[in-house]
Structure 1
Amino acid sequence: PAGRNWFQLYVMRQREISYGLVERAAAAGFDTLFFTVDTPIAGARLRDKRNGFSIPPQLTLGTILNAIPRPWWWYDFLTTPKLEFASLSATGGTVGDLLNAAMDPSINYEDLKIIREMWPGKLVIKGVQNVDDAKTLVDHGVDGIVLSNHGGRQLDRAPIPFHLLPDVVREVGAHTEVAIDTGIMNGADIIAAYALGAKFTLIGRAYLYGLMAGGREGVDRTIQILTDQLVRTMKLLQVRTLDELTPHHVTQLTRLQPLRRDPARQDTDA
């Protein structure tokens, strides 16, 4: 409660739900609205279906076989509160089914305008995946953008945020803060993102691994591991401060760069 708190907003089919959440977040003192646009519908999420990951969770043959040699799983399953969302006790399907039922794929810049008028604090858009959208969002007065393809869980052939980062920073970095989500699995990834112009990174999967493994202490341990990796990387690069980092410190990502389209062939390529 003493820190800076951000509220992540998804736009629902029932707009009144989303508007009500915006008002409640403002009343609760959140200073930044994290408007997420990379999940207009759910991706395939095939592992969820295979593993019975629904609300509430289902026991499939696979999960039972995995649990047989792990009696503490059964103990936790039988003695701890069941897994459910605070506002939804059952959906009758997977998380993907929930997203498809609740989210609205038709969200547009008019929705952004309405939210901007309602929200008194900072407004950040998460899920930007091309330079043109980044420029348009800056024109609409957002305070920050986060390059993200939702961890590759939506469209697995979506642009890689690391590849977009230099171009987006060059085009809009002087007018808004640019951050990056997706692919941060090591402190060295944070250094690479910062060197390419990101103001900060998000570490969704990393902290969740720590949370699942050890609760609050697991999250603290995750942060410590990332910090050690970050400091070690800076020492190996022989830089003393973040301000000394430049794109020249990032070389290995170049071998992963996608093919550049030839503008002369753009009208003929399928």
Structure 2
Amino acid sequence: MRLSDAHSAGDMRRFARRRLPRAVFDVIDAGAGDELTLRWNRESFDRISLRPRALVDVKKVDTTTTILGDPVSMPMMLAPCSFARMCSSAAEPAVARAAGRAGTLYAVPGGSGERPEIVAQSATGPLWYQLYMKPDHQANVELLDTIERAGYRTLCVTIDTAIKPYRERDLHNKISLPVTPSPRLLLAGLSRPLWSKDFLLGNSAGFDLMAARRAYNNFADAIMHIKSVTAEEISWLRDRWKGPLVIKGVLRGEEVPRMIDLGVDGIVVSNHGGRNLDGAPATIDVLAEVVEAAAGRAEVFLDSGVRRGTDVVKALALGAQAVLVGRPYMYALAAGGERGVDRMIELLRNEIIRAMSFVGATSVAEIDASLINPGTAPSRVDPGTDPALASVH
């Protein structure tokens, strides 16, 4: 299994499946319930077809853009994903380094296996921090102080996880929060000796099981001590946090104006990768509605289901400023550690360039609704100034 043999996110998923014990792979891969939303995230992207422009010189294609004022090399950033330590002992610091080398952003998960200040020390690019609000107000104050001192620029508040989620694959595999060792988990580890060695020893010469377990339990602590996020919390965060403020987990356009009035700078259209509420809509299906509601007053991003460069172009054509990718880099981290994440980012970057070239967009600014076939697009798509597209309506 060589990283050079991986040519897509699907390849990285297969490599990860070979390396990880089944129970661990399912932690990364699974969705909630019957996994309808997990499936819809992909099916909805697949239903949208692109409408290439002709007679365009694409010798030079520029993928650079900005995200809340930060220049990035591509309209794609790395989403907050817990359990990185279960994929590789390199964990979140490796992801931060890879993102920095690629010239893009990394949103560090609130359930990170490493302390936020440790991850920040490894980063060379701007970081977001994903916040799960806690019932203990002082704990929120202390956490904000920590990430502020560590140099995080943007606060990303997750609002769609008011209670602990349940995923049936985890239940069948006897994975619980907090993690409890069991014979089944022990046998799963023995089935993948190379993974077990890395999980238990990491980069040290000593037994590191307690560090590995702490990493998993950090996520458990974040998820088991959460609260509903209301307008009052957002207002308090806006007063307390001086940098950009982003809300993640939005699926309804009519709620967006109030969020912006509260001082929110960015909206992430997300269904948590299909991992929370099964039956929630695919994010690409509601993206245009949220973009219309934001009316240019806040940047809108799309999360959940992105696997290809063509997905990125489709999301931007429907109004997203950029997308977040999660599972692809987690599969890559499992498949090849830090080098795997480098490889996955580069594969997606190349796919974005190829997709832009084939549709006739030489810059991110040239990606608009005219590149989407109107018969396949979700509602509320603005046909822009393309006369051929306008004539269809």
Shorter-chain TM-score bucket reads 0.7 to 0.9
- Aligned partner of 2:305 in structure 1 is 183
Q: Is the 8 A contact 1:211 1:219 kept in 2?
A: yes
1:29 Cα deviation (Å)? 2.0
Q: Which blocks of at least 5 consecutive residues in structure 1 are unaligned?
A: 258-270
Q: Which amino acid aligns with 2:352?
A: L
Name 1:132's counterpart in structure 2. 254
Fraction of identical pairs, as percent:
35
Amino acid at match of 2:318: L
Alpha-carbon distance between aligned partners in 2 of 1:205 and 1:45, rounded to the nearest angstrom:
16
Which of 139, 142, 150 is the equivalent residue of 2:272? Answer: 150
Aligned counterpart, 2:163: 41
Q: Displacement, 1:248?
A: 2.9
Question: Structure 1 residue 104 and structure 2 residue 227: aligned?
Answer: yes
Within 5 A, what are the aligned runs for 1:3-42? Answer: 3-42=125-164
- Report the alpha carbon displacement of residue 108 of structure 1 after superposing the two structures with TM: 0.8
TM-score by length of 2: 0.58
* Superposition deviation, residue 100 in structure 1: 5.6
Q: Which of 310, 328, 332 lines up with 1:210 in the alignment?
A: 332
Partners of 1:8 and 1:33 within 8 A in 2: yes
Matched to 2:263, the amino acid is: G
2:213 equivalent to 1:84: yes
Question: Residue type matched to 2:362 in 1?
Answer: R
| Residues 30 and 79 of structure 1: CA distance in aligned 2, closer, same or farther (over 3 Å) | closer
DSSP 3-state at the match of 1:228: helix
Per the alignment, do residues 239 and 20 of structure 1 end up closer, same or farther by CA in structure 2, a change over 3 Å counting? same
User: Is contact 2:165–2:276 with CA below 8 Å preserved after alignment?
Assistant: yes
1:171 aligns with 2:293: yes
One-letter code of the match for 1:214? G
Distance change >3 Å, CA 56–CA 169, structure 1 → 2: same
Q: Whole-Å Cα distance in 1 between the matches of residues 329 and 355 of structure 2?
A: 20
Gaps of 5+ in 2: 1-122, 203-207, 380-393
Cα-to-partner distance string for 1:139-181 (whole Å, 9 max, x where unaligned): 1121111111100110011122111111211221411100011
3-state SS of 2:301 partner: strand
Change (3 A) 1:162 1:67: same
Give 1:63 shift.
6.8
3-state SS of paired residue (1:84):
helix
Q: Structure 1 residues 30 and 77, CA, compared in 2 at 3 Å: closer, same or farther?
A: closer
TM-score (norm 1): 0.82
Tell me by how many angstroms 1:57 deviates. 5.7
Match of 1:64 among 152, 167, 187: 187
- Is structure 2 residue 348 aligned with structure 1 residue 226? yes
Q: For residues 187-228 of structure 1, what are the alpha-carbon distances to aligned partners after superposition, in whole Å with 9 as ceiling and x for unaligned? A: 111111111110011111111111111111111001011012
Deviation at 1:71, TM superposition (A): 3.7
Deviations 1:16-49 (A, max 9, x none): 2122111221222221111111111122211222
In 2, the alpha carbon distance for the partners of 1:169 and 1:256 equals 12
Residues 255 and 44 (structure 1 numbering): CA distance in 2 closer, same or farther, change over 3 Å?
A: farther
* Cα distance in structure 1, aligned partners of 2:363 and 2:330: 28
The one-letter code matched in structure 1 to 2:244 is K
